[in-house]
Amino acid sequence: MTLPVNERRTTSRHRVLKSAFIVISEKAPKLECTVRNISEIGAALQVSTTIGIPTHFKVYIDGVRHCCRSVWRTDTKIGVVFEQLGRSTIR
């Protein structure tokens, strides 16, 4: 498979349409989001607004917590990389 010239991903992402939650802190309310595409190392999240969402946060997808770092964002989307040490399941 040939990647586009401006493509920097090392793994391919798969289009999905999944509900998820962003958690900024234990005291803050969860923010609903939609996973638009996902791979083993990252995802694109659609939100109502990216205002107030920090660079590092947690996202729960299919009951699995992923510690994330945003690598790009628009007004309503955030591209994230999963940090490997942060994965755990909801208990």
Residue spans per domain, the chain: 14-89
Q: What residues of the chain score a pLDDT lower than 70?
A: 1-10, 85-91
pLDDT at 36: 97
Measured from the Cβ of residue 22, the count of other Cβ atoms closer than 10 Å reads 20
> pLDDT for 5-15, tens place per residue?
455 556 777 89
pLDDT at 85: 56
pLDDT at 22: 98
Coil, helix or strand for 31? strand
pLDDT at 50: 97
pLDDT at 13: 78
Which CATH entry fits the domain spanning 14-89: 3.40.50.2300, 3.40.50.970, 2.40.100.10, 2.40.10.220?
A: 2.40.10.220
Closest by alpha carbon to 34, among 43, 42, 25?
43
pLDDT at 7: 53
Give the predicted TM-score (pTM) of the model: 0.80
